[in-house]
Amino acid sequence: MFTGLIQAVGKVTALRRGGRGARLALQAPLPGGPLEDGESIAVDGACLTVARRVRGGFEADLSEETLVRTTAGSWRPGRRVNLERSLTPSTRMGGHFVQGHIDGRGKVRSLVAGSGQATLRVETPAALRHLIAEKGSVAVDGISLTVSARGRGWFEAALIPHTIAATNLSDRKPGDSVNLEVDLIARYLESLLEARGPARRDR
């Protein structure tokens, strides 16, 4: 479990394909002491497991599911990625509960600078549009954001200067794909309503 508050921006050093999966190598300047084998790290919002520690970073295995559902399959050496270590009992909860389970990929429509903030507009896949609510939470490449507006097939979030400076969002351009994770409550509520649907029809 994560908060969506990015702790560091790392860098992809290698992505080696093998069979249906891949091995990802990263530079990871994360705080909190040495990484541990088996530790969970959110990388651009995707929960990955430290398979091998290397000097200044770690390697992680990417399953076929991860390559299909996230943007990881397109990552190249030099790409900057958002990093967050998993929650501990003493972690401050400043964002929202983020599982690191990517629901789908969105596409950046625009990133427009304004007075003291920037506005990000993201095109959302049809399967996720009903799960994104104005004033609700959404994780974009692992960043906890609040939906400031939504329309037909898109949502917007206002970005404060700290978010731009502390994440890789300044690298994103119109047309770029981003990882999306909808709010945990919305996901489970949809599942509950789907499960209860047939029961109501049987009455």
141-184: pLDDT as tens digits: 999 999 999 999 999 999 999 999 999 999 999 999 999 999 98
Q: What is the pLDDT of residues 116-142, one digit of tens each?
A: 889 999 999 999 999 999 999 999 999
Q: What is the pLDDT at residue 96?
A: 84
When the pLDDT of each residue in the chain is averaged and rounded to a whole number, the result is 92
pTM of the model: 0.90
Torsion sign, CA atoms 44, 45, 50, 53: positive
- β partners of residue 57: 27, 54
- Name the domain count of the chain: 2
In this structure, the answer to whether residues 80 and 125 fall within a common structural domain is no
pLDDT at 40: 97
Domain shared by 17 and 78, yes or no: yes
The pLDDT of residue 203 is: 40
One domain, residues 73 and 117: no
Look at residue 202 in the predicted model and tell me its pLDDT: 41
State how far the alpha carbon of 193 is from the alpha carbons of 6, 141, 186, in Å: 32, 28, 11
Cα(120)–Cα(147) distance, integer angstroms: 10
Instruction: Return d(Cα 91, Cα 80) in angstroms, integer.
Output: 25
Q: Are residues 76 and 112 in the same domain?
A: no
CATH number at residue 57: 2.40.30.20
User: Given this model, what pLDDT does residue 97 score?
Assistant: 84
For residue 2, tell me if it sits in a domain.
Answer: no
- CA geometry: angle at 178 spanning 130 and 18, to 5°? 120
The amino acid at residue 73 is G
Q: At a CB cut-off of 8 Å and minimum separation 6, what does 31 contact?
A: 7, 8, 85
Full domain range(s) for residue 143 = 104-190
Query: Could you report the per-residue pLDDT of 82-104, keeping only the tens digit for each?
Result: 999 998 776 676 778 899 999 99
Which CA distances in Å does 10 have to 6, 41, 90? 11, 12, 24
DSSP string, 33-50: S---TT-EEEETTEEEE-
pLDDT at 201 (0 to 100): 40
b/e string for 55-66 if b means 16 or more Cβ within 10 A?
Answer: eebbbbebeeeb
